[in-house]
Structure 1
Amino acid sequence: MCDDEIIAAAGQARDLVVAYPEHMSDWARAVGHQARALAVPVRHAESRFAGNELMLSVDEEAERCVARRDRYGRIMTQSGPGQAEHRRDLRICLVGQPRHHQAVNPATVAALADAADALDVALDLRFLDAADSSPDSVSELLTWCDGVVLPGGDVANAPLQMIVARKALDLDKPTVGLCLGMQSMVTVFAQVRMGLRDMTLAELDPQAPVFSFESMTHPDGTSVRKLGKNKLHCVETSDLGRALGTQPFVRLNHRYRLAPTLVPSLQAAGLVVAADSADDGVIQAVELPSSRFFCGMQGHPECTSSRGQPHVLLTRFFEKAGQQPERIGS
């Protein structure tokens, strides 16, 4: 929207919030002056973090603390449950760089914390970074943890995710995949359980002989991106599908889909389709019933999770991860 459109919309709406980054403060004040000149009421608010405290100043009033950032990066207006109040801890391995999950894409960690709060467990979270992903470190971390999270993100993370997914499948370690994570899981399943050793992602290696996930295109060859809120068609014969039926929408942001020609072979090998897009049938969730928990979603359920309303995929993952018969290490 241009400046005039913003001011016109503000004049018509009861409230209009215009967010802007710090380097655009001068622009925001100039638009505010223009709006006031047209008798449009304006209030100017600035926020910043002081440590973990979110400070707010409105119309240059004195700053006050309005919320705090908890150890999982969530902005909390009131305190959550403390560690001592939880019945037990849950050890989770999250693949990726700590800084990425804390500063670039904090939704995954926040959604895991939402699920932990709902189940009254303490989340003991450790990251597996590509910089420290030797075979020994992967084996040690997967032996220690109760469950593995393969998150969405850059396809450059797929090789490490596939190494972890292969080890998790071998150990029957509860594993959940989000977007790229589901792609990594399905690819490893095809490699290990179907013997398709050359199988990979088209986005990772466009010259590979066979793809697990292929690009989506329009009839004219241009790329398709599924983006935004998407309604799911949930398969009721699937445990995960029945659970997703209680939350039949997911946020999408992907350009690749599970190759339709591969689906019958995957199903014959034991992988089950749990949900697809109601509008075009693109597969959105899979599970492996013969495992303790090996489930993934092509979308981003972490983006529809919130405190008090965690996504069912993550609560089910935690429930299965919490059923560890024996732990090694402390």
Structure 2
Amino acid sequence: MTLTLVHHSPCSPALYGAMAATVACAQNAVLMHLPIAFDSTQGADRVQMVASSGSLVPSGLLWYERLTDRQIEAASDPQAIIARAGECDVVVPWDDAHQLSATLQTLVEQAEAAGVSVCHLTVRDDHDSWYLQDQHGRPTAHGRWSRDASGRWMKVDSRPSTASDLALLRVALVGAEADQKDVYPATLAALADAADACGLEMQVRFVDPQSLDVQALADVDGIVLPGGSDMNNVPGQIRAARHGLLSGTPVLGLCLGMQSMTTALAQSLPGLEQANMAEAAPDAPIKSFVPMAGLPGLEEHRLGDRRLSFKVAATEQRFQSHPVIRCNHRFFLNPDLVDPLETAGMIITATDATGQVVDAMAWPHHVFYQGMQGHPEQCSTAGKPHPLIEDFMRAAMTSSAPPSVVEDEATR
């Protein structure tokens, strides 16, 4: 059996493990990874890919799941990797800039002592296409890889030609462009999967929530509020959701985005104007989302794959190919707000197994205003987009961009 070390240094969180994934795919090998410490300057969501077992791993390891249809595991120590390499071929990504050289030395020494063959490959970047060299500096047979406009990895010689007669869909992704491309690539890739399934050409407009001008949303066909751990994004996400409510523009919320859009909805109701999320606004007089910690039957931090409990038959039918969602959250919809929101018309389409955590919601008085507490973008692949994201695309496609309705700041 062979242990293949794929050296890629330095690399962004969105690239970490990507070329190693192509090797694992080509060799039908298992990808394992050692702990890595990206510094905080590389984005709040640098380690936000959720393993099905419940571990958080570098966001670039998404590509292993997308390319191989296998689930990524939690980080391993050298001993566990050597033990696995004694059973099957193993590929391990390595970044000298963010991992300790002593760990690599230990891994290589233990592999050789155990009789495991060690192969070193190095990633080379040639004008935004990547290829591998062996220990002698020769290109390998793995070919050249690049990313399409949505960041999805594919072989250079297998990239499909773009049809020129596809309908154009303009989507506002309310997140900083660098974060969505170089830190956490799952949302952009999942949107592209859905656009492909709908036969659309997607044009993404990145709208930074920390400097959001609602004029940037005036002519788009749909608005996406992504997940994330940076609470500084929440005020801008809420404003974007409010714009979607006022203008009739389809809105999709993912994890944090669902919390923001539900909060915007609550703020539109009499008596709940001051509602806000406890994590983002601890001093808010009314908390729209509150911690799960200490509550009977709930986890403090909900991580990993969780089966949805559907409350609407049509939703269950639509999601039959994706009945499980990846979760990564500590806050949930305040139970005290469920009744006023449902009375106003909000529909809870899915919950957790206990019925306490709202996992999916919809506002039926709108062409599409739906969100999910988990991460459907991490459950999407080319050719098999998540149904919630595909439905958003179809709604945006069929509802032409509405007349601009720009929020009057003086009234808020």
TM-score (norm 2): 0.72
| Structure 2: stretches of 5+ with no match in the other structure | 1-75, 405-412
Q: What amino acid maps onto 1:83 in structure 2?
A: T
> What residue identity is the alignment partner of 1:267?
E
Quote the offset at 1:296 in angstroms.
Answer: 0.3
Could you tell me which runs of 5 or more consecutive residues in structure 1 were left unpaired when the two chains were aligned.
Answer: none
Question: Partner of 1:76 in structure 2?
Answer: 154
2:166 aligns with 87
Aligned match of 1:103: 182
Bigger mean CA deviation after superposition, 178-187 or 223-232: 223-232
- State the AA in 1 paired with 2:95: P
Q: Residues 322 and 290 from structure 1, CA distance in 2 versus in 1: closer, same or farther, beyond 3 angstroms? A: same
Q: Distance in 1 between matches of 2:209 and 2:388?
A: 26
Q: Which residue does 1:182 correspond to in 2? A: 258
Q: Could you tell me whether the CA contact under 8 Å between 1:287 and 1:294 is conserved in 2?
A: yes
The Cα of 1:327 is off from its aligned counterpart by: 6.5
Task: Answer yes or no: is 1:9 the counterpart of 2:88.
Answer: no
* Change over 3 Å in CA distance of 1:53–1:277 after alignment to 2: same
Identity of aligned residues (%): 37
Of 99, 102, 112, the match for 1:36: 112
Is the 1:86–1:120 contact (alpha carbons within 8 Å) kept by the matching residues of 2? no
Q: 2:243 aligns with which of 167, 172, 191?
A: 167
SS at match of 1:44: strand
Cα offset for 1:54?
A: 2.0
Normalized against structure 1, the TM-score is what?
Answer: 0.89
In 1: Cα distance, 2:347 partner to 2:185 partner: 30
Equivalent in the alignment of 1:54 = 130
Distance 1:219-1:98 versus aligned 2 partners, 3 A rule: closer
Distance 1:144-1:75 versus aligned 2 partners, 3 A rule: same
The answer as to whether partners of 1:234 and 1:242 remain within 8 angstroms in 2 is no
C-alpha separation in 2, matches of 1:325 and 1:123? 14
Alignment correspondent of 1:271: 346
Structure 2 matches for 1:289-300, cutoff 5 A? Answer: 289-300=364-375
Q: Secondary structure at the match of 1:267?
A: helix
- The answer to whether structure 1 residue 146 and structure 2 residue 189 are counterparts is no
Distance between the aligned counterparts of 2:376 and 2:136, measured in 1? 38
2:391 corresponding residue in structure 1:
316
Residue type of the partner of 1:181? G
Distance 1:86 1:21, change over 3 A: farther
| 1:84 match: secondary structure | coil
Provide the secondary structure at the position in 2 that maps to 1:18: strand
**1:263–1:116 Cα change, 3 Å:** same
| Cα distance in 2 for residues equivalent to 1:324 and 1:175 | 12
Q: Look up the match of 1:119.
A: 198
TM-superposition CA deviations, 1:102-144 (whole Å, max 9, x none): 111111111111111111110111011146423xxx13x3221
Report if aligned partners of 2:210, 2:232 keep a CA contact under 8 Å in 1: no
Contact 2:211/2:236 (<8 A) preserved? no
Residues 1:282 and 2:357 are matched in the alignment? yes
The superposition leaves residues 263-302 of structure 1 with CA deviations (integer Å, 9 ceiling, x where unpaired) of 1211110100011112564111000112100000011111
Count of matched residue pairs:
322
State how far apart, in whole Å, the 2-side matches of 1:217 and 1:89 are.
44
Contact 1:187 1:200 in 2 (8 A): yes
How many Å separate the matches in 2 of 1:255 and 1:87? Answer: 41
| Distance in 1 (alpha carbons) for counterparts of 2:248 and 2:401 | 13
Partner residue of 2:309 out of 233, 257, 267: 233
Report the 3-state secondary structure (helix = DSSP H, G, I; strand = E; otherwise coil) of the residue aligned with 1:56.
strand
What CA distance in whole angstroms lies between the structure 2 residues aligned with 1:131 and 1:252?
A: 25
Structure 2 Cα separation of the partners of residues 311 and 79 of structure 1: 24
Name the CA distance, whole Å, in 1 between partners of 2:125 and 2:186: 18
| Aligned 8 A contact 2:221 2:401 in 1 | no
Give the Cα separation in 2 of the matches to 1:59 and 1:30: 19
1:303 and 1:26 map into 2 onto residues whose CA distance is: 31
Partner of 1:252: 327
Amino acid at match of 2:383: G
Shift of residue 58, structure 1, vs aligned partner: 3.6
Q: CA deviation at 1:72?
A: 1.1
Distance change (3 Å), C-alpha of 1:186 and 1:2: closer
Q: 1:218 to 1:304 in 2, by over 3 A?
A: same
- SS at 1:39's partner residue? coil
SS in 2 for 1:19: strand
Describe the SS at the equivalent of 1:144. Answer: coil
SS at structure 2 position matched to 1:229: strand
Q: 1:38 to 1:107 in 2, by over 3 A?
A: same
| Partner residue of 1:128 out of 177, 196, 207 | 207
Distance 1:15 1:253, change over 3 A: same
C-alpha contact (below 8 Å) 1:225/1:255 kept by paired residues? yes
The Cα shift of 1:155 comes to 1.6
CA distance in 2, matches of 1:126, 1:245: 31
CA drift at 1:196: 0.8
Say if 1:216 and 1:108 are closer, same or farther in 2 by CA, change over 3 A.
Answer: same
Q: Is the 8 A contact 1:211 1:259 kept in 2?
A: yes
